[in-house]
Amino acid sequence: MNQLIKAIRAEFIRLMKKKTTYILMLCHIISIALCFVPYLQRQLRIFMNDGFDVIASGTNEYIYRPFVIGSLAGSILWGIYVLASADKEKKNNSREMVSAFMDERKHSFTRIMAFLGVAILDTVLCMLVFLPVCMKKMDYLFQWKTYIIYPLILMLAGIVMTVFLMEGLYRLSENTIVSLLVFGILTAVQFTPAFKNSIFVRWNLPQELPVSDTVGSAGILRILIYTRIILLLCSICIWSLASLFIRKYQYGPVRSFLVSLKKPLRLTVPVLCALIAAFMVAGQPFIDHGPLVVEDIGNVFETSWDLAAECSHVQRDYYFDTVRGTIRGTYKLDIEETAKQDLEIYHNAGIKIKHLTFNGEEVDFTTHFRKEDALKTSLSDVYSAFRLPEGSTGELVCEFEGYPTQSRTNYKDWEYSCANRTVGPDYIYLHADIVGMEGVGNAPYTSKTRIHVPTSHVPLADGFEMKKVEDEEGGITCWETYNDYAIIMSSPNEICDIDYDKAKVKLAYNQKNGYAIRKYKLDEAASDVLRYCDDHIGTLNTDETNRITIELVSSELGGGYASDGNAVIDESVLSAENLSDQKDGANGNETFMHEIVHLFLGDLGLPFDDDGLWSCEGMTVYTTYRIVKEKYGALYAKKYYSDVWEEVVKKQNNNFYLRNPGYLDKLPESYKNSILSSIGTDNKYCRMPLMLLKAEQILGEEKMDAVIQELYARRNEYYMNGGCCTFEDFLNAAGLEKEDLEL
């Protein structure tokens, strides 16, 4: 052992004395630095998000993505260096001398350990270099824990895998060209359609997942750590197996392998690593193990909503293990009468029913996927079927526990997401009906959902009131709501009232975002938008209590949604990048206004047919311009909005590829997609608003408002018919021709 430690130290010192080591470190730092160049930053964002220019959280922009690229660059740089170092003995004809001093398998291990030490130093150096940049860019949202953990699990793990892999490939082939070719294939396969969405194979270029600036993204961290462990075990397995092929006695690879097998214990490491990795893949709790849905989700199986049981009271209780990310609880039904014998409880595939009792006696049940129900299967729902005598009366109690999963279908078609089912110390997001029974009849307000969350949390339920019940032991507080179909979002929240006289409006946000809320006076921005839109567009839908709640949730959600009187927006709207994104507004206050306008215009209000030019974004930008014009005056609006649009459109009109589309088709696909994405963004955020401004100049502001009001009044009609507001609808309502608005 002492000899091995001395050899590792000597090899490490040798590497640290070579200029090549420091040149590679510098190249690695430069590769990460390129991610902070605005143009390249945008191109990488498009590349990592399948052609979409979506600004995510500050953590994504300044920590996650740069160190993902650092993983790929570091993997290539250090992988080639490992290969060159391993081949040096062969080139120098010094193998026999080295093997006389130490067994070649041990010598391979010493080289790996030395390179791992260099990789750790390289990672720490990169983190120190970019620490001031990230702190400045992220401002009050910077968190030490986030900055430390992501580089380690994204970049360092990727480099460590490469060291084991490249050493193993060389020991197997003893040919640098072959080793490089295999390395290139294993890297390139991550870009293929079959594997680009699979987080389980993205080894040196991890998939970009939306992570939060404020709540820790515990669900994302769990799967990242889990998959990185699997991939690390695979790389160790490859090296330890390849080391058995190290040439002995001038034998070939096969005979050398047979000689190595004379010591069977040498198979312990590769077999153990392979078994653990296989066990982890087979038992992974993140993606369900159900069938893939191949048919169109639109042609779903019609679920029977016939009455199953009449109940006097229904109650769900949820308890959360915020470290493991699991949910446990009970689902109780006070049954007055069962309408049929065969009953089913549906639940997420990761949630297992531990006990099912009726009047205190155990009830047998079987759990299955409804393969014929494409929608339920794609949502990762399973059914546990059981029987009760028809007309039975009593208490049915279902005790459950598990880690909520995503369906295989959804994962295969898109990518991993825990946006709708995550449990962490700082954030819980859960559908209240994750466990339930179809066809339950009960009177209003006899169904209750109770959640038991950390005392620091203030939970929200789609804007419905959450009532605090009691404080419990262990720093837990129980809250309840009578809406059993709500989406529960719980974190350390603050709730403030918005000044608006036509409804009760509340803005709910994470405490860590309080600085941005106050700095940019976003409560005032919301009030200004609601008043303007109410006067110029129409009245926002509210529920019977005449309330509107605007909830800012984790950026894992990747967008927003709305129900009557409730709007949910992901927190990325408050990221430094978005608050300074002038295509939405001239400053953070106006950018937030832009998002609130989406309550009225977009999927949260009037749906738009996005054809690359006509979209909800264009109408929202134009509306924000009108609000700003009313608030700050025409000169301000012209300088920061219409003049900017004109400049962008002028540059776009001079674009060579737009004027000569034949040349665009000759470009490589990646360049073509980047140009088309840029044109699409300019069309939505500049060309369309300028066209709407031209329509306003033709019609006048009052007539323009009347046209928008007419379209907005038809929003329910669009939703009922599954349609969207089109450019033709606008032209018809305005009495204009397309040629009238050409620029």
Residues 265, 373: one domain?
no
Is the pLDDT at 271 greater than 70, yes or no?
yes
For the domain that residue 619 is a member of, what is the CATH number? Answer: 1.10.390.10
pLDDT in tens, 72-93: 999 999 999 999 998 887 776 6
pLDDT at 299: 46
Q: Are residues 392 and 520 in the same domain?
A: no
Mean pLDDT of the chain: 87
- Identify the residue with better confidence: 313 or 563: 313
In a domain, 290, yes or no: no
Regarding whether 359 and 479 lie in a shared domain, the answer is yes
Q: What range does the domain containing 575 cover?
A: 494-741
Q: Flag whether 217 is in a domain.
A: no
| Of 727 and 663, more confident | 727
Domain presence at residue 303: no
pLDDT digits (tens, 9 = 90+) for 190-200: 988 878 888 99
Nearest to 133, CA basis, from 244, 256, 37 = 37
Instruction: Based on the fold, state whether residues 277 and 327 are members of the same structural domain.
Output: no
| Pair 58, 112 in one domain | yes
pLDDT at 344: 93
Mean pLDDT of 552-577: 77
Same-domain status, 511 and 390: no
**55: confidence class by pLDDT, cuts 50, 70, 90:** low
List, for residues 471-481, the tens digit of each pLDDT value: 999 899 999 99
Q: What is the CATH number of the domain that holds 467?
A: 2.60.40.1730
Instruction: Determine how many CB atoms are found less than 10 A away from the CB of residue 91.
Output: 9
Report yes or no on 434 lying in a domain: yes
Cβ within 8 Å of residue 606, ≥6 positions away: 600, 616, 711, 712, 714, 715, 718, 725
Name the residue with higher pLDDT: 373 or 541.
373
The answer to whether residues 561 and 594 belong to one domain is yes
Kindly indicate the confidence band of residue 579, based on its pLDDT and cuts at 50, 70 and 90: low
Residues 326, 257, single domain; the answer is no
Least confident range of 55-59, 210-214, 434-438, 711-715: 55-59
Of the residues 428, 458, 490, the one at which a domain ends:
490
pLDDT tens profile 408-438: 988 988 889 888 889 999 999 999 889 999 8
**What does the pLDDT read at residue 97?**
62
Residues 423 and 528 in one domain: no
Q: Which of 475, 490, 505 is the last residue of a domain?
A: 490
Query: Mean per-residue pLDDT for 346-351?
Result: 94
* Confidence check: pLDDT of 585 > 60: no
Residues 171 and 60 placed together within one structural domain of the fold = yes
DSSP bridge partners of 464? 461
Report if residue 327 sits inside a domain: yes
Based on the fold, state whether residues 327 and 457 are members of the same structural domain.
Answer: yes
Give the C-alpha distances (Å, rounded to integers) separating 578 from 376, 557, 702. 36, 16, 32
DSSP character string of 154-194: IIIHHHHHHHHHHHHHHHHH--HHHHHHHHHHHHHGGGSTT
pLDDT at 723: 84
Domain count, the chain: 3
* pLDDT of 204 over the 80 cut: yes
**Domain endpoint, select from 241, 267, 282:** 282
Mean pLDDT for 583-608 is: 74
At residue 604, does pLDDT exceed 80?
Answer: no
Do the domain assignments include residue 651?
A: yes
Q: Distance (Å, rounded) from C-alpha 13 to C-alpha 36?
A: 33
Question: How high is the pLDDT of residue 434?
Answer: 92
In a domain, 659, yes or no: yes
Tokens of 486: 């709500």
Residue 38 inside a domain? The answer is: yes
480 and 523 inside one domain: no
pLDDT (tens digit, 9 = 90+) per residue, 134-160? 999 888 889 999 999 999 999 999 999
pLDDT beyond 90 at 587: no
